[in-house]
Structure 1
Amino acid sequence: MPPSSDRTTAATRPANGSSGVQSLERAFDLLERMADAGGAVGLSELSGSSGLPLPTIHRLMRTLVACGYVRQQPNRRYALGPRLIRLGESSARLLGTWARPHLARLVEETGETANMALLDGDEVVYVAQVPSRHSMRMFTEVGRRVLPHSTGVGKALLAHLPSDEVRALLSRTGMPAATEKTITRPDDFLTALEEVRASGYAMDDNEQEIGVRCLAVSVPDSPTAAAISVSGPAGRLTEEATGRIVPLLREVAAELSETLTGNGTPS
């Protein structure tokens, strides 16, 4: 999901039909802005970012609270509500269903395990996987959550964020070392993200688990920040293999993007 600064404000977006439709658009816009802000905001913050007047926001938030999609905290700030969890879980399962045929192509052509992951708050969550057919293969449980600094998909996802947002995230999560290869300094991690942007792909080189490499790319124009990856033993994911796999990853990511945005037909 793009940062709120990259979106048109709800106040300046053209009205789309009836007032009911416009209210629905504004309500979803506010939910997205709350997610961008970390899940909890005040009405004045929402008014400043959306451009909507406070009375309008207050009316919409009352409706969202009544429906369970937002809850008001004791400090009078508003937080995303528990009813969104069911929608999010169902959406993640559907994303996995759409992604698996694309991941299966990666496995067929590379021989290695393929994953899809999303950035959910400050964590990376794996939503789909197709395992390698090799007896020695990588396995990440769907639904597993990890910190982004030690993973290829995490780097691919964070490379698109402004540096100050990445620093803030790292400050919140810390940078614990999963192995002796894990990047544990923010400046070093930001340098690694510059390399991701320059090369167009990310690598986890023994940083999450010794003996394992992972190659990852982001999914362009995805409705929510997403990345796909191929992972396997370092002895198989060599420099030569990387040269073959990365172009395929980019091609599959573009095809997956078409599926997720409705420009392509889900396989």
Structure 2
Amino acid sequence: MAAETPVGVQSVGRAFHLLHLMSEAGGQMSISALAAASGLPLPTIHRIIRTLTESGYVRQDASRQYTLGPRLIGLGESASHMLAAGAQRDLRELAEVAGETANMALYDGDRAVYVAQVPSHHSMRMYTEVGRRVHLHATGVGKALLSQMSDSAVGKLMTSTGMPPLTDRTITDVNVLLQVLAEIRESGHTVDDGEHEVGVRCVAVPVPDAATLTAISVSGPASRLTAEVVDRVVPLLRETATAVAKHFA
């Protein structure tokens, strides 16, 4: 039987810690990298990873690196639905006060996936289908999600996915993206100024201390979501992000 600590079963805690490290690294790590990041002995990591692999929560790819496995997808989808339901009221209040569409997105592999949205009352408004997966480098929520990762993880992810130009304003240079992410970490918010869709502006913030990388945003036509409106909306987004974070507690 696994040894127990005052906060629970040690082996279970270690397994989740390894999964979390893999997620932060973009979903893929070697055994040696896991050992360096976790500080756990190699035999312990081998034992835990073997169990996770046999259960489908981790898999080994052709390069013999370990990646997050397919069985996590169902768990993530169920959790995201529950979190979205809990956050819906917070987003509704945000949309009312901001006067524009409010969104919540989670990190999903190499994309951001929208899990909740409350549209504005304007006849001309932004609408993104819940469940839609979008590029990380070209969206407000995507950049807010990337800002919660290490630069090395971001670089590795962008090398894998590429940085296709969706408009003439899309960031397509990883070094420029890393500079933007540093600014996001400093200011606490980011703006997608027509980088994903011409004429659309989006301001987004990370949700702090979420178990899954999460971001919320307010989006609307650039003609309405002006720089002055963005300045007014940023504090509202931060308040909402703090409220949404409580659903992860």
Unaligned runs of 5+ in 2: none
Whether the aligned pair in 1 keeps the contact of 2:26 and 2:154 (CA below 8 Å) is no
Alignment of 1:121-136 (within 5 A): 121-136=109-124
Letter in 2 for 1:85: I
**Shift of residue 75 of structure 1?**
6.0
Residue aligning to 1:240: 228
Question: Matches of 1:193 and 1:40 in 2, distance apart?
Answer: 21
State the Cα deviation string for residues 125-180 of structure 1 (Å, max 9, x = none).
Answer: 11111111211111111121111111111222223434333333222222211111
State the Cα deviation string for residues 175-227 of structure 1 (Å, max 9, x = none).
Answer: 21111121222233233334333433211111111111101111122222211
Question: Matches of 1:255 and 1:168 in 2, distance apart?
Answer: 32
**Secondary structure of the equivalent of 1:177?**
coil
Question: Matches of 2:19 and 2:185 in 1, distance apart?
Answer: 29
Question: Matches of 2:199 and 2:57 in 1, distance apart?
Answer: 43
**Shift of residue 64 of structure 1?**
2.5
Residue aligning to 1:23: 11
State the Cα deviation string for residues 8-37 of structure 1 (Å, max 9, x = none).
Answer: xxxxxx96249x811211222222233334
Residue aligning to 1:53: 41
Equivalent in 90, 114, 127 of residue 139 of structure 1: 127
Question: Matches of 2:152 and 2:26 in 1, distance apart?
Answer: 15
Whether the aligned pair in 1 keeps the contact of 2:24 and 2:150 (CA below 8 Å) is no
State the Cα deviation string for residues 37-81 of structure 1 (Å, max 9, x = none).
Answer: 443444444333323333333333333333332345566554433
TM-score of the two chains, using structure 1 as the length reference: 0.82
Question: Matches of 2:178 and 2:51 in 1, distance apart?
Answer: 41
Residue 245 to residue 86, structure 1, CA distance change in 2 (3 Å): same
RMSD: 2.5
- Larger mean CA deviation between 72-81 and 112-121 belongs to 72-81
Residue 249 to residue 147, structure 1, CA distance change in 2 (3 Å): same
TM-score of the two chains, using structure 2 as the length reference: 0.87
Question: Matches of 1:165 and 1:253 in 2, distance apart?
Answer: 24
Letter in 2 for 1:258: K
Whether the aligned pair in 2 keeps the contact of 1:98 and 1:260 (CA below 8 Å) is no
Equivalent in 135, 155, 175 of residue 143 of structure 2: 155
Unaligned runs of 5+ in 1: 1-13, 262-267
Residue aligning to 2:218: 230
**Secondary structure of the equivalent of 1:138?**
coil
Residue 241 to residue 76, structure 1, CA distance change in 2 (3 Å): closer
**Is 1:84 matched with 2:89?**
no
Choose 1 or 2 for highest CA Rg: 1
Residue aligning to 2:166: 178
